C-alpha cells in the first residue's frame, strides 16, 4: 500500500534508491511461455541510461540487468520475475553538501515531512533513477504486447518551446533526443547546451502512440484504460500534465467535431 | 477488480445503471465519529442533478439519497456506509430507437466488445448518471476534509472558447454554470443555447483548487497524490486532459522559473 | 481496506448492521450473460434465515432480497450487482439493557477499543446477520459454478458431541439442522432443546464437500485455493478451526499414507 | 494478483525458485526509523536453514541475506526493503530423473495444469525453500513487533504421534526440533530416524503463542485477525489444518464454558 506497486494482472513492484546497493523490480503475473532474455531488457535499459546525449544527466553507469527468477529454459514460467541492477556509480560524496539544505524542485522536504527521515544522497527513492525498474518491467511487458500485435512508440515533440514540425518515425532512433524531426532535434540540442551553460534546464513534451490496441481493454468506471495510463504517466517525476487523444483541444470543439464516427 | 472501486483507506465502490432500479455507493474505511446527515449528502447531489441550468441534460429527478448503513446516533461508526438513490425517471422508451444502432461518443460499442451484452438504455453503467455515486461519496469525504481544514473548490473556467477573465469565488454559487466570472457566465449560457438549437454540444475546462493540503499526503512512487487525483479525474466520462499546477506551461519554462522556492 | 471485501476477480463487499435500515452486498466482477433472478438468491436466503428450526435464533424476518443493479433482461451484464435486504425486525429495545454492559462472546468490547464507538443494538456489524450479504453473493457465485459443473454441498456432522454416523446426501434437505444422518439429527435437536432450557448453547462441526473443482484453481504461493477458502471460513463469526482434506489427521500419518497417488 | 504478495500496510512479495539464481522478498510499507541490520535477518534464516537437525532436508547452504534497499545509516527509511539470498546448492542434476515423471505430494502436476510449463528442479516455486523469503520478511516484522511489545513464540508440540507433555519455553532453543519438552524431543528424533530409514516421513503439529497483542487489531468482517493469520499459515506448503484458541474443542463445549469472561 506504500505505492511501490502498479498494475493488477501484470503487477510490478519497484524498489531501490539512487545511491543504495541496487535497484530493481519484481513482476508478478507475467504469463508463462514468453521467450525472454537479458538482451530484451538490456536494450531498453541502455536507451534509458543517462550520459548518452547532451540533454541528460552526467551519471555514467552500465546498468547491467540480472534476471534472478521466473525464467526456465529461456521462457517465463508464470512465477515472479525478479530483475536487479547493481548501482555502480554510488559515490554519494557530491551530495554531502546537501546534507543540511534542501534542493528546490526535489522531493526531499516532502520525504522528511512524511517519514521523519531523509536520504539526501541523490534523491534516494525519488530519484529519476527509480525509472530503471519501470523500464525493465516495461521491456518484459513489451514481449507480451508484441505477441498481441500492440505497438507502442514514444518520442519527443517539444523541448524549450521548439516543436517537431514533422513526425518521421524512422528518425526517432537516429538522434539522442528521440525527436521525429531532424531539424527540430538539432535546434533542441543547441538550446539545451545554451541553457546548461547558464546552470538552468528546460521542459518538454513527449508523445506516445499506441497501435493495435484491442477494443474493450480496461475496466468501465474508475479503472478506465485512459485513467490507468494517465496515472502511470503522472507518477513519473517531472510530469505535470497528460492528454489523451485530442486532449485539451476538445474543450474548444463542438460535439459534432469531436465524436468518432462509427463505421462498419 | 472490475474497476468499480476507488481508493484504499477510504475506498468507494459505485454501482447502478442509468435506467436500472437504483444507483449508489458503498464507502469502506470512513473513520468513526464523523457527524453525518442526509442533508450533508443531499446538498451536493442537488448541485449535481441535471435540469437546473440551461447547460445540462433535461432529465428531471429528485435524486433522494438514503443512508442504509454505517451511521449510529448521527455519527459514522467505522463500518461501511451504504448510500442509495432510487431512479425515478426510468422510462427507457426514448432509447428504444437506439436498440439497433450505436450512438457516437458513447461507450456502447466498447461495452458490447468487452462483455458481449449491451444495455442500450441511456448508457447503462457508462452514463454520466454514474457520477451520482461519486458525488455522494465525495460529500462524505468532505466531512473528513473539513475536520482536517482542507478546502476544495471547483469551478468552470472555459466553455466553448469563452474564458473566465476573473476568479471571484463568491460568484461561483450564483450561476448555474459555476463560473467565477459573471460576464463570462452569461456569454457561456448564451453560446450553449445557440449551439443546442443546432443539435450540438460544447466542451469546457474546469479548475479545482485545494487549500490546506498537508505535506506528505500520497505515496512516493506510483501512488503519488498527483497520480491518484489525475486518475480519478480522467476516469470521469468526457475528460480528455488533466494538468497539475502549472501543467503544460512547464514545458516552456526554465527550471529556474518552475521550481518552488523553499522558505522557512 | 477496512475488511468488508472478499475476492479479487469476483469481489464482494458486504455492508449493513443487524439493526440498521438494511444490509446487502455489492458484487463486482460477475461475468456477463449469467441468467439470474430474485428466486435464485431468495432460495438461499430462506435457508439462512433464522427461526426455522429449533436450533437457531428466534428472530423472525422475511429477508426479501432486491436486485438493484447489474441485471438486464434477466441476465448479468458484467457491471456491479447490488443486492439489498431491508431489515424488518429492527426493534432494538430488547438491547437497551446492554447499553451499559458488554455481553460475553460478543465483539462489542473489541469494536469499542478499535473505533471508540459502540453500536449495542444486536451486535451491529458483528452480528451473524451480516452473513445474509455473504449468502446472497454466494447464491450468485453458485450460478457461475453450476455453469462450470462445480458442486458444493455443506452439512452438519456434529453438534454437542453427537456425530453423524452416516452421510446420506438426500437427508440433508429434510431436517432443519441439515444433518445427513436422520437419527443423529433427531438426537441433536433433542440436545439443543435441553441445553436451551438451561440458557446455554452448543458447538458443532460442519463439513463442506466440493466436487468437480478444476485443477490449477488458486494461485501458487500466498493465495493458494486452500488458503483463500480457509480465510473465508475463518472470517465467519464463531468458527475456531478449519481443516482441509485429511486435516489434523495428517499429523499422525506417514508420508506414504498421506500422499495422493498420481494416476493416468 | 498472482498470489506472491501478502499483507496490506506491511506488504511482502516473495520471488525465486528452489534452483534458480536467487530468491528473496520485497517489503513495502515497513515504517521508517526501525533499526535493522543483516544480523537481525540472518539469525532467523539460520534457524530456518535445513540440514541442521536430523528432522529436515539434507540441503546444505549458507543462505546469506543481502539487504539491497530501504536502509540508510542503519535504519529503515519507509521505502521498499529488498532482501536477496543467492542460491548456492543449485545443482539440479539429481532432479533430472524427475523430468519425465511426477513426484507424489508435490505441486508439479498442478503447475503444469495451470501454466502449461513445468520447472522440475526441486519443486521450483512450490519448494519449501520459498519460505526463506517469508522468514526474512518475518525477521523485519519482528523488529516492529518488538517495539510494540508483541512477542511471538513457535514450537513443535507433536511429531509422529509423540506429544510434548510439558511446555518449558527455555527448552525450545535447546533442541533442533524446537520442542518445549526435552523427553518428547528425544523420542521424536528417534522416531524420525527410524522412519527415515524406511524411506518415509512423519507429520506433526506446531503451536504459536502470541503475547501482548493489542485489542482491535485486524478488521471486522472478512479481514479479521484470525482469518488473516489462518490464511498465512494455510498458505505454507504442507499445512492441512489451523485452529485458533480452543479450536475444534469448542465444538464440544457449552457456550457458558467457551465464552471469555469480561473483567475490569
* Tens digit of each residue's pLDDT (9 = 90 or more) over D45-94: 999 887 665 555 555 668 999 999 999 999 999 999 999 999 986 677 77
- Give the separation between CA D161 and CA D155, rounded to whole angstroms: 16
Taking an 8 Å cut-off on Cβ atoms, the answer to whether D80 and A124 are in contact is no
- Give the separation between CA C96 and CA C93, rounded to whole angstroms: 5
Taking contacts as CB-CB distances below 8 angstroms, the residues of chain D near B1 are: 1
Average pLDDT over every residue of C220-243:
96
Residue C101 is classified by DSSP as S
The pLDDT assigned to B107 comes to 81
Helices (H), chain C: 38-48, 108-115, 131-147, 182-197, 225-234, 255-258
Question: Beta-carbon neighbour count of residue C172 at 10 Å?
Answer: 18
Task: Tell me which H or E stretch contains B48.
Answer: helix B38-48
Q: Is A240 helix (H, G, I), strand (E, B) or coil?
A: coil
| Chain B: partners with 3+ C-beta pairs within 8 Å | A, C, D
The strand ranges marked E within chain A are 5-6, 11-16, 22-28, 65-67, 71-72, 75-76, 81-86, 151-159, 162-163, 204-211, 241-243
Closest CA to C235 of C151, C125, C155, C80: C125
Portion of chain A with pLDDT greater than 70, in percent: 93
Locate the chain B residue with the closest alpha carbon to A11.
B222
List b or e across C3-12, with b for residues whose CB sees 16 or more CB atoms inside 10 angstroms: bbbbbbebbb
Taking an 8 Å cut-off on Cβ atoms, the answer to whether B79 and D220 are in contact is yes
Does A9 contact C at CB distance below 8 Å?
A: no
Taking contacts as CB-CB distances below 8 angstroms, the residues of chain B near D79 are: 220
**Please, which pLDDT band fits residue B51 given cuts at 50, 70 and 90?**
low
User: What average pLDDT does the structure give for chain D?
Assistant: 91
Average pLDDT over every residue of D139-147:
97
Within the 36-55 window of chain D, which residues sit less than 8 Å (CB to CB) from chain A?
A: none
Give the residue with greater pLDDT, A228 vs A220.
Answer: A228
Q: What are phi and psi of B252, to 5 degrees?
A: -110, 10
- Point out the least confidently predicted range of B174-183, C73-82, D253-262: D253-262
User: CA-CA distances (angstroms) from residue D14 to B110, C129, D126, D232?
Assistant: 37, 38, 12, 13
- Give the separation between CA B221 and CA B199, rounded to whole angstroms: 45
Locate the chain C residue with the closest alpha carbon to A29.
C219
**pTM confidence score:** 0.94
Interacting residues of C71 by C-beta distance below 8 A, sequence separation 6+:
B20, C36, C77, C81
User: CA-CA distances (angstroms) from residue A55 to A52, A191, C57?
Assistant: 8, 10, 74
The pLDDT assigned to A102 comes to 79
Q: What is the DSSP string of A173-209?
A: GGSTT--S-HHHHHHHHHHHHHHHHTT--B-EEEEEE
The pLDDT assigned to C50 comes to 72
Condensed to tens digits (0 to 9), the pLDDT of residues B190-227 reads 999 999 999 999 999 999 999 999 988 999 899 999 99
Query: A113 pLDDT exceeds 90?
Result: no
Q: What are phi and psi of A236, to 5 degrees?
A: -85, 135
Average pLDDT over every residue of D94-98:
73
Q: Is B167 helix (H, G, I), strand (E, B) or coil?
A: coil
Q: Is B147 helix (H, G, I), strand (E, B) or coil?
A: helix
Query: C96 pLDDT exceeds 80?
Result: no
Within the 61-100 window of chain A, which residues sit less than 8 Å (CB to CB) from chain C?
A: 79
Taking contacts as CB-CB distances below 8 angstroms, the residues of chain C near A220 are: 79
CB of B230 closer than 8 Å to CB of A75: no
Query: D12 pLDDT exceeds 70?
Result: yes
Residue C99 is classified by DSSP as S
Locate the chain B residue with the closest alpha carbon to A108.
B216
- Point out the least confidently predicted range of A102-111, A209-218, B9-18: A102-111
Task: Tell me the shortest Cα–Cα distance from C259 to chain A, in angstroms.
Answer: 25
Residue B114 is classified by DSSP as H
Query: A206 pLDDT exceeds 70?
Result: yes
Locate the chain D residue with the closest alpha carbon to B8.
D8
Q: What are phi and psi of D195, to 5 degrees?
A: -65, -35
The pLDDT assigned to B9 comes to 94
Condensed to tens digits (0 to 9), the pLDDT of residues A125-165 reads 888 899 999 999 999 999 999 999 999 999 999 999 999 99
The pLDDT assigned to C186 comes to 97
Q: What is the DSSP string of D56-94?
A: S--------EEE-SSEETTEE-SSPEEEEEE------GG
Locate the chain D residue with the closest alpha carbon to C200.
D255
Taking contacts as CB-CB distances below 8 angstroms, the residues of chain B near D220 are: 79
The pLDDT assigned to A117 comes to 86
Task: Tell me the shortest Cα–Cα distance from A26 to chain C, in angstroms.
Answer: 15
Taking an 8 Å cut-off on Cβ atoms, the answer to whether D15 and A81 are in contact is yes
Q: Is C191 helix (H, G, I), strand (E, B) or coil?
A: helix
Taking contacts as CB-CB distances below 8 angstroms, the residues of chain A near B161 are: 251-252
Average pLDDT over every residue of D150-166:
97
User: What average pLDDT does the structure give for chain B?
Assistant: 91
**Please, which pLDDT band fits residue A259 given cuts at 50, 70 and 90?**
confident
* β pairing state of D204-211 and A65-67: unpaired
Phi-psi region of A182 (alpha: psi -120 to 50; beta: other; left: phi over 0): alpha
Average pLDDT over every residue of D245-264:
87
Q: Is B12 helix (H, G, I), strand (E, B) or coil?
A: strand
Q: Quick one: chain D helix, strand, coil %, rounded to 5?
A: 35, 20, 45
Average pLDDT over every residue of B104-120:
83
Answer positive or negative: Cα dihedral of B244, B248, B250, B251.
Answer: positive
Closest CA to A141 of A74, A234, A244, A44: A44
Within the 154-183 window of chain B, which residues sit less than 8 Å (CB to CB) from chain A?
A: 158, 160-161
- Point out the least confidently predicted range of C105-109, C169-173, D114-118: C105-109
Query: C53 pLDDT exceeds 60?
Result: no
Average pLDDT over every residue of D39-50:
91
Task: Tell me the shortest Cα–Cα distance from B65 to chain C, in angstroms.
Answer: 13
Q: Is D125 helix (H, G, I), strand (E, B) or coil?
A: helix
User: CA-CA distances (angstroms) from residue A52 to A19, A59, A68, A175, B137?
Assistant: 20, 9, 27, 10, 49
The pLDDT assigned to D104 comes to 76
Does C1 contact A at CB distance below 8 Å?
A: yes
Locate the chain C residue with the closest alpha carbon to B8.
C1
Does A208 contact B at CB distance below 8 Å?
A: no
Domains and CATH numbers, chain B: 1-92+132-147 (3.60.150.10)
The pLDDT assigned to C183 comes to 97
The pLDDT assigned to C39 comes to 96
Give the residue with greater pLDDT, C40 vs C55.
Answer: C40
User: What average pLDDT does the structure give for chain A?
Assistant: 91
The pLDDT assigned to C59 comes to 59
CB of D156 closer than 8 Å to CB of D188: yes
Taking contacts as CB-CB distances below 8 angstroms, the residues of chain C near B96 are: none
Task: Tell me the shortest Cα–Cα distance from C118 to chain D, in angstroms.
Answer: 13
Q: Is C82 helix (H, G, I), strand (E, B) or coil?
A: strand
- Point out the least confidently predicted range of B102-106, C1-5, C83-87, D89-93: D89-93
The pLDDT assigned to B58 comes to 56
ipTM for the whole complex: 0.92
Portion of chain C with pLDDT greater than 90, in percent: 72
The pLDDT assigned to A94 comes to 72
Taking an 8 Å cut-off on Cβ atoms, the answer to whether B116 and C29 are in contact is no
Taking contacts as CB-CB distances below 8 angstroms, the residues of chain A near B262 are: 102, 104, 109
Q: What are phi and psi of C230, to 5 degrees?
A: -65, -40
Task: Tell me which H or E stretch contains A137.
Answer: helix A131-147
The pLDDT assigned to D111 comes to 85
Between CA C77 and CA C85, with CA C79 as vertex, the angle to 5 degrees is 100
CB of B218 closer than 8 Å to CB of B224: yes
Query: D195 pLDDT exceeds 60?
Result: yes
Average pLDDT over every residue of D106-131:
84
Residue A254 is classified by DSSP as B
Average pLDDT over every residue of B238-258:
94
Amino acid at each position: 500500500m506504500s505505492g511501490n506497486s502498479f498494475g493488477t494482472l501484470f503487477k510490478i513492484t519497484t524498489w531501490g534508491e539512487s545511491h543504495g546497493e541496487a535497484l530493481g523490480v519484481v513482476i508478478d503475473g507475467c504469463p508463462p511461455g514468453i521467450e525472454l532474455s537479458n538482451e530484451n531488457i538490456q536494450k531498453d535499459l541502455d536507451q534509458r541510461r543517462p550520459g548518452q546525449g547532451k540533454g541528460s544527466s552526467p551519471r555514467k553507469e552500465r546498468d547491467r540487468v540480472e534476471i534472478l527468477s521466473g525464467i526456465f529454459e529461456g521462457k517465463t514460467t508464470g512465477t515472479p520475475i525478479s530483475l536487479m541492477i547493481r548501482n555502480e556509480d554510488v559515490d554519494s560524496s557530491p551530495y554531502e553538501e546537501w546534507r543540511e539544505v534542501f534542493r528546490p524542485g526535489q522531493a526531499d522536504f516532502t520525504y522528511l515531512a512524511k517519514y521523519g527521515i531523509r536520504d539526501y544522497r541523490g534523491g534516494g527513492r525519488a530519484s529519476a533513477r527509480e525509472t530503471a525498474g519501470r523500464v525493465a518491467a516495461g521491456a518484459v511487458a513489451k514481449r507480451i504486447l508484441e505477441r498481441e500485435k500492440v505497438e507502442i512508440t514514444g518520442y519527443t515533440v517539444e523541448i524549450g518551446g521548439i516543436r517537431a514540425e514533422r513526425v518521421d518515425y524512422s528518425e526517432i532512433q537516429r538522434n539522442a533526443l528521440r525527436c521525429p524531426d531532424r531539424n527540430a532535434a538539432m535546434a533542441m540540442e543547441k538550446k539545451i547546451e545554451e541553457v546548461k551553460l547558464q546552470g538552468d534546464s528546460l521542459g518538454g513534451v513527449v508523445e506516445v502512440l499506441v497501435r493495435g490496441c484491442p477494443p474493450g481493454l480496461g475496466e468501465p468506471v474508475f479503472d478506465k484504460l485512459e485513467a490507468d495510463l494517465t496515472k502511470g504517466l503522472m507518477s513519473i517525476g517531472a510530469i505535470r500534465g497528460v492528454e489523451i487523444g485530442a486532449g485539451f483541444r476538445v474543450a474548444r470543439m463542438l460535439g459534432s467535431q469531436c465524436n468518432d464516427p462509427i463505421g462498419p
